[in-house]
Amino acid sequence: MPEFILALDQGTTATTALVIREDLAVSGRASNEIPQRYPQPGWVEHSPEAIWAATTTSARQAMAAAGVDGRDCLGIGITNQRETTILWDRATGAPRFNGVVWQDRRTAPACERMKADGLEPLFRRKTGLVLDPYFSGTKVRWLLDEVPGLRADAEAGRVAFGTVDCFLVWRLTGGRTHATDVSNASRTLLLDLASLTFDPELLAALRVPEALLPRVVPSSGEIGRTHGLDFLPDGVPIAGIAGDQQAALFGQTCFAPGQSKCTYPAGAFLLVNTGAAIAPSRHGLLTTVAWSAGGETAYALEGSAFIAGAAVQWLRDGLGIIRKAPEIEALAASVPDSGGVVFVPALAGLGAPHWKPDARGAVLGITRGTTAAHLARAVLDGIAFEVADLIDAMGKDLGRPVAELRVDGGACVNDLLMQTQADVTGVQVVRPRNVETTAMGAAMLAGMGVGLWDRAALAKLAGVDREFRPAIDAAAREARVAAYREGVRRVV
């Protein structure tokens, strides 16, 4: 049987597994949803056991679809929802609480108290992040403070902390490896970007005991080996790990400084490779580790918008305007524009460049003539506008405009959205042949880790599906963006 890389993409709503050949062709794919839990308004949780079940099921199904045997697996690549926080028992591997998801806002009051105490400059300087509930550190503190007995057990070394990649590595290796890669570690509020180590001053500020922490490893290279699984033999190397957005940047072959991509899953995430330079943002973006591979570490600037594809899900599940997410494109295209309706997609607060966790979404400009089609068009426009804000901030930080935007993720198959994105940014938008670049990036890192590919070979194997060029003039663009920004001003 042919040899392959198994890519595991553990996302916010589902786990996807891909069987990837040496030519980057996908010969098997499977995806299984995970349930979302909303215990209180603003709280979002996942069952770690449900994550593990979806991961193992997807892996089995993908290999069955490809007709391959686990003995021919050269290596495993993992990519994951990044800031989601899990604590588990080191002896049994059992979770001590549900995973607290990156979208969860329960620690907003704690973040405000830390800002009032003057701590944000410390975190900004060392981690490149802002004090926001988005990141793992305040989630860990909440769990330690609120779950009975958890802090004492953590301080005694009986509990392990990890983002989802780390939890999966633990399970895949039968509890033998407690490790996370630098890209995921850089999203915790605990990692110093310069030293690439967990920082004692940051740990003290968040009251996180060092005994909880995993080992920080490169994104490519052997991290551990499988043990005790019923769908893979012992000894398969886990050779690539990256957080989903960094994996997408790698999967888009944005290997050179200045190259950028935007991924459109539940949110929208814009990253630009800044190479070896740790580039502080002055315009509301984040500085993060892109990856560490081949002995080199690359950094990135990132703009994160919390709601993109999730707004389409809201139209489907919350309002019942569409039955299936793909229906939005035809509905929105049935009208020439939004009819003056402006949608501000702050359904889970506003991320970069505003960082307003308490902001709430708004639909403005409704008249008696407004239809479901106008609202659908406004939702697509709102997604494109919030990314335009990120691109504007990115250009200011870089000191030059973004020249090209590579796109991926589920929503990028919507041609109308991609054309709107090009129109309201004035930037050429490029869509690859394979839009599942988060999983592809994890596979590429794993393949490099086992010596299957190098970057030059990967760049040759990647391909383009379609390019979208701006089709409106600067004056029309400025008018449309100005109307959206007036809507943002009303909710912040």
Residue by residue, pLDDT tens for the chain (492 residues) are 579 999 999 998 899 999 999 988 999 999 999 998 999 988 999 999 999 999 999 999 999 999 999 999 999 999 999 999 999 999 999 999 999 999 899 999 999 999 999 999 999 999 999 898 989 999 999 999 999 999 999 999 999 999 999 999 999 999 999 999 999 999 999 999 999 999 999 999 999 999 999 999 999 999 999 999 999 999 999 999 999 999 999 999 999 898 999 998 878 999 999 999 898 899 989 999 999 998 899 999 999 888 888 899 999 999 999 999 899 999 999 999 999 999 999 988 888 888 887 889 999 999 999 999 999 999 999 999 999 999 999 999 988 888 899 999 888 899 999 999 999 999 999 998 877 889 999 999 999 999 998 888 887 777 788 999 999 999 999 999 999 999 999 988
What is the DSSP track for 333-378?
HTSSS-TT-EEE--BTBB-TTT-BTT---EEE---TT--HHHHHHH
| Residue with token string 């000894």 | 235
Within-domain flag for 342: no
Task: Indicate the number of domains in the chain.
Answer: 1
Residue 491 lies in a domain: no
The 10s digit of each residue's pLDDT in 295-336 is: 899 999 999 888 888 899 999 999 999 999 899 999 999 999
Phi, psi of 150 (to 5 degrees): -75, -40
* Domain assignment present for 452: no
- CA 347, 353, 354, 357 dihedral sign is positive
On whether the CB atoms of residues 480 and 251 are closer than 8 A, the answer is: no
- Cα separation, 101 vs 84, in Å, equals 4
Query: Mind listing the pLDDT tens digit for each residue in 189-245?
Result: 999 999 999 999 999 999 999 999 999 999 999 999 999 999 999 999 999 999 999
Does 172 map to a domain? yes
Residue 167 lies in a domain: yes
In angstroms, the CA 323 to CA 314 distance is 11
Per the domain annotation, does 250 fall within a domain?
no
Q: Per the domain annotation, does 353 fall within a domain?
A: no
Q: CATH number, domain at 25?
A: 3.30.420.40
The answer to whether position 412 is within a domain reads: no
Both tokens of 447, joined, read 């393949």
H helices of 181-226, in order, are 182-185, 200-206
For 158, the domain range is 4-245
- Cα dist. 318→114, 313, 347, 427 in Å? 35, 8, 12, 33
